[in-house]
Amino acid sequence: MAETAGAPRRWLFSATIFAGSFLLFLVQPMVARMALPQLGGAPNVWNSAMLVYQALLLAGYAYAHAIGRFSVRQQGLIHLGVLALAGLTLPLALAPVAQLQTGWEVLWVPWLFLLTVGPAFFAVSAQAPLIQRWFAAHPQAGNPYPLYAASNLGSFAGLLTYPLLAEPFLTLGQQSWGWTLGYIALLVLIGFAIFNRRDAAPDLQEDAADDVAVNWKRKALWLLLPAVPSGLMLSTTTFLTTDIMAIPLLWVIPLGLYLLSYTVAFARKRGMAKVFLFLAPLVLLVDGGIAMFAAGRADLLAAIASLLLLFVVATALHARLYDLRPSPARLSQFYLYMAAGGALGGVFTAILAPLLFDWTWEHPLLILAAAALIPLGVWRRLLGSLTKDRQSARVILVVGVFLVFNAALLLYARVQTEAGLEWIDWLALLVILCLAMVLAARRLSFVLACASLLLALGGLSNLIASVNGERQRSYFGTYSITQRDDGVRILMHGTTIHGIQRAGAAAQEPTAYYGTGSGVGLALAQAERIVGPSARIGSIGLGVGTLACYRQPGQRWTFFEIDPEIVALSRSGQFGFIEECAPEAKMLIGDARLRLQDLPPASFDVLVIDAFSSDAIPLHLLTLEATAIYERALAPDGLLLLHISNRYVRLEPVVARLAEKRGLFAMVWQDQPDRQKHLYPSTWIALSPSRGPLDRLSVMADWRLLAPPEGPVWTDDYASVLPYLVWENFL
């Protein structure tokens, strides 16, 4: 290899790799935000986006590996040419693609993201292995792998910058132009890096011993060790938003922790990585058990346990991956395998799991995969000292697995009848987990201990539900139907009640958030007085069809529903609201904004907006452009009813600003019904282009004026939930 003049300039290469990764993870939420008006905010939209980014990362790493045969100067010129060509697609804007066809979301969403950001993301993603290889070309450079820690630190910084700085203060157009300027700055940094290594030879010298050590088993680990954390990151996202709680900004937290895990695992100083390697088996058992134990209870402890599990286990697996790194001569090959592993985990979680499973089974399966891969070193030696006799050890381990499973199963059965967990329950769980740790003395017994805990603490009951066909899963979520002893039937979307129907004579009475004392109930019950006879009523969001039982003779009803699975459930006979109250109601499947635009103006006298998925905010339904679409669909004296019940975001001032900008009259109704009657508190806002409908509605109940508007108006180009978060409800 030719000598390269000057110092290694680690700072320059660190800054370059940091900047590229910063841009990559700034653009991910930005493009997802651009697509929001067409895609909504389902968790799988984010997972689909992540899958595209992982595929592009793999392509970028393959390209970086392919050009490694050339000199650094030639590589640099090639890469600058690729960056320049990709720059022709800037500033970024959503690609004009054919309208989404219902049922094809799993393929259409990745295609949209690929066309929108593909060239630029591909070009920038390749710079991580390239920059490390160029750095290593200097004879005094030293170990290039810690630069990957700087790369992931840049990724983490970009991910945080978007919700904290970019989204609250910049429109999408400004964000896109800002990203373009960053892209140009990256080109300059890469130019300096190439100039600094202009005389370097094409290839580093391979280590003969390393070449022998890189066998198929080692390469398999290069695939599996990044695949499990990648899949676990996405499954944690789905698991949290489906089975624990769907709160704003939650979706980016697993990705941020995943990126930080690489920063710790690839750091030059190994002290912190060794701590995580020691803790990982303990955390896997404890937090895996707690996460399963508390799943379905919307429990903050389960959320914390799941996130801690992801961070510690991902760090341990990535640290093992770092320990298996080859010599710098094989650097690009190593990163190519890593990227392939990440994409493999993404394909399993984002594409295969929703098709194969009716619940988030991918999450416990990936926990078991992690149990099979994390190093047990210290624990194996420590716990193996209990006995030196192999036969005695086998007996202890078999008995241990048996005790762990049965004790955990008894505990889970007991707490199912309790409203809350008492200290004795937590103490029993702690004892079980301590016993399970003894099983870390052997790999097989450790995996069996994890499987026993996951099965006993909720997995078995979920398995029975799956076998009995009690759940359905679609691209938009997981649904389960339960029937109580009193005949009440409930549809759950994750941990959120999606609809309730009583039994017997009360079967047609509206329940949940739609009782006769709710805002929507007051309005629909008196629709004839408010908007006249033979009203045309539209509802965005179907649920189990509860609102249908407000239908009066002569009225024409239309439901908009994005998820075909919900339409099937509402007509399956398990819930009778539609069939008994409005069997002739029209069902329009697809995104409501797009479907409304296809209808003639003034199509509805009353339009109900009730499309929130749990506590996730459908920003694209609360923008100025969306409100204009609703107005177009309403008759001049029509009534718009908006459901804004939410634990985590104050939406009233947001809607107040929309009403102000559009010149709409508005008032709000909050009810506090008796929960024992299967009714829940709700907040509804009534809006109208004219005062008449609201005057007639206010005669029936004491509606109040909206709170003063706050902040800029939400548009398709600008919206941020950050100023409206109710922080105390997160605790």
Angle between helices 443-454 and 271-294 (to 10 degrees): 30
The answer on pLDDT for 212 being more than 80 is no
In this prediction, residues 293-319 reach a mean pLDDT of 81
pLDDT at 263 over 60: yes
Strand 682-688 with 665-671, pairing: antiparallel
Domains of the chain and CATH, by start? 1-204 (1.20.1250), 208-475 (no CATH), 490-730 (3.40.50.150)
DSSP 472: E
Quote the CA–CA distance of 15 and 369 in Å, as a whole number: 35
Q: Over 80: is that where the pLDDT of 502 sits?
A: yes
Higher pLDDT, 4 or 543: 543
Mean pLDDT for the stretch of residues 253-277? 90
Residue 3 is predicted with a pLDDT of 42
pLDDT at 384: 62
Q: How far apart are the first and last CA of the chain?
A: 58
pLDDT value at position 226? 95
Query: Where does the pLDDT of residue 387 fall: very low under 50, low under 70, confident under 90, or very high at 90 and above?
Result: low
Give the pLDDT band of residue 590 (cuts 50, 70, 90).
Answer: confident
147-204 per-position pLDDT tens digit: 888 888 999 999 889 888 898 889 989 999 999 999 999 999 999 999 888 776 555 5
Letter string b/e over residues 646-676, b meaning 16 or more CB atoms within 10 A of that residue's CB: bebbebbbbbbbbbebbebbbbbbebebeee
pTM reported for the whole predicted model? 0.80
Q: Name the band, by pLDDT with cuts 50, 70 and 90, for residue 414.
A: confident
Average pLDDT, whole number, for the chain? 84
Say if residues 306 and 346 touch (Cβ distance below 8 Å). Answer: no
Evaluate whether 445 touches 400 at the Cβ level (below 8 Å): yes
Nearest in space to 275 (alpha carbons), one of 122, 136, 378: 378
Percent of the chain with pLDDT over 70: 87
Residue 658 has pLDDT above 50, yes or no: yes
Q: Which residue has the tokens 């459901």?
A: 643
Structure tokens at 172: 């999408």
Q: Phi/psi of residue 499, each to 5°?
A: 170, 150
pLDDT at 454: 87
- pLDDT of 420 reads 59
Q: Which residues of 519-545 are buried (b: 16+ CB within 10 A; e: fewer)?
A: bbbbbbebbeebbeeebbbbbbbbbbb
Q: Give the mean model confidence (pLDDT) for residues 617-630.
A: 86
How big is the CA angle at 478 (ends 476 and 483), to the nearest 5 degrees?
Answer: 135
pLDDT of residue 4: 46
Is the dihedral angle over the CA atoms 61, 66, 68, 73 positive or is it negative? negative
pLDDT of residue 100: 62
pLDDT digits (tens, 9 = 90+) for 476-491: 777 888 888 788 888 8
Containing H/E element for 639? strand 634-643
Residue with tokens 């070009």: 123
| pLDDT reported for residue 2 | 43
Q: What is the pLDDT of residue 438?
A: 75
Q: Check whether 1 has a pLDDT greater than 50.
A: no
Rounded-to-integer distance, Cα 2 and Cα 179, Å: 37
pLDDT in tens, 200-211: 655 555 554 555
| Chain segment 452-462, per-residue pLDDT in tens | 888 888 888 88
pLDDT higher than 70, residue 139: yes
